[in-house]
Structure 1
Amino acid sequence: MKKTIYLVIALGFLSLNSFAQKINWVTFQEALELQKKTPKKIMMDVYTTWCGPCKMLDKNTFQNKEVADYINAHYYAVKFNGEGNESVNYKGKTFANPQYNPANANRRNSAHDLTRYLQVGAYPTIVFFDEKSEVIAPIRGYQTPTQLELYLKMFKKDDHKTIKTQEEFNAYYKAFKAEFKG
């Protein structure tokens, strides 16, 4: 009887996980190459391995079907460890993490040079890039699906180009009708 209950619970978790949509994550280098063939904006999740809100963003927001579907359709999605040790070529310059300590791989480490260049000062930060790999904006902190939806759609439609003041952004925010659930 106990085995049957455990089996039913396990199958329930498996079926719930099968509904979670997967984002097509690529490296930053891959996204930059893909942009050359098919121009699309880039959404970069700058995270660290030790960051609790980063894990919440992965679990609660990036596994939301509507979020994942929208990102997959309209963006190249990049996961970038803000304290990792990969080498990245961007804007004719190579970025690395010369102070990286492998012993600290799962805890605080030195910030990557690209992280500093993008002026990421907190994790998670989602950095949006236009079709020419120019930074649009960094969005700092944990975002729920409906909070992220605003930025995904605003940047996709280039609505940010017409917003010049905080008051204009506030009006845009108030007028925005979220459609994503969660």
Structure 2
Amino acid sequence: MPPASPRTTRSQPRWLLVALPVLLGARVASTVYEKHHPSQPHSQVRWLSLEEARVLSRERNLPILYDFTAAWCEPCHMLERQVFNDLDAAQKINAAYLPVRVTDRMNEEGENPPEVKALQKRFEVLNFPTLVYVAPDGGKVNKLSGYRGYSETLEFLLLPSPRGFVPQKKRPPPTPPVEAPPAPAPGPGAP
């Protein structure tokens, strides 16, 4: 009788030893790619061209909302994910404004198209994201630089929020501090 072999009669799946490192490498590569190229869900806001918005603003008497953004700007991506991709907020924006996305291409192409340069100069856009809304007559301009969260963005846009925001009334200016009365003059017997 032959001695019992410590080995099993099953053969080892050699293909698994090759596939495991390949799959692990692919997973690491996809994670690195996704970090540098995050997927953006489709915006719920109906973005218009600048010319479309100008024509419709006169026809419908609605303000134009400019979203100044850049591809490399992480706060811009947060604004997109948290506000523009939120169905409730997007519906309110679409109803109250004529939204126009203005994308800065300075880092990618070395310069911006003349139309983008002119808008950035007109509204003094120095950082991203910047939201600007302009009255239909072009007169009144309101600007918010930077992303400050969902509720503050909707408050700036004067839109009610399903997350508990109620537009606040303008607060009266703070009262100036009361000055202390002058110290009494020393009496006749003071040193």
> What is the identity, as a one-letter code, of the residue corresponding to 1:57?
L
5+ long unaligned stretches in structure 2 = 1-39, 160-166, 175-191
Cα 1:51/1:35, change in 2 over 3 Å:
same
Which of 143, 153, 158 is the aligned partner of 1:153?
A: 158
What are the superposed Cα offsets for residues 77-129 of structure 1, whole Å, 9 maximum, x if unpaired? Answer: 11011x34xxxxxxxxxxxxxxx6xx823xx7557232022111110000011
Q: How many residues align?
A: 126
Could you say which structure has the larger radius of gyration? Answer: 2
Please, which runs of 5 or more residues in structure 1 have no aligned partner?
1-16, 85-99, 168-182
Alignment of 1:51-130 (within 5 A): 51-81=73-103, 83-84=104-105, 104-105=108-109, 109=111, 112-130=117-135
Q: TM-score, normalised by structure 2?
A: 0.56
- Choose between structure 1 and 2: higher helix proportion: 1
1:45 and 1:124 in contact (8 A); partners too: yes
Alpha-carbon separation, structure 2, partners of 1:149 and 1:22: 15
Alpha-carbon deviation of 1:24?
Answer: 0.9
Give, in whole Å, the separation in 1 of the partners of 2:136 and 2:171.
21
Which residue identity lines up with residue 125 of structure 2 in the other structure?
V
Do 2:66 and 2:99's aligned partners in 1 also have CA atoms closer than 8 Å?
yes
Conservation of the 8 A alpha-carbon contact between 2:69 and 2:129: yes
TM-score normalised by the chain length of structure 1: 0.58
**Which protein, 1 or 2, shows the higher relative CO under an 8 Å CA cutoff with sep ≥ 6?**
1
**Shift in Å at residue 22 of structure 1?**
1.2
Query: What percentage of aligned pairs have identical amino acids?
Result: 22
Pick the structure with more strand per residue. 1
Compute the RMSD of aligned alpha carbons. Answer: 3.2
Specify the alignment match of 1:87 in structure 2: none
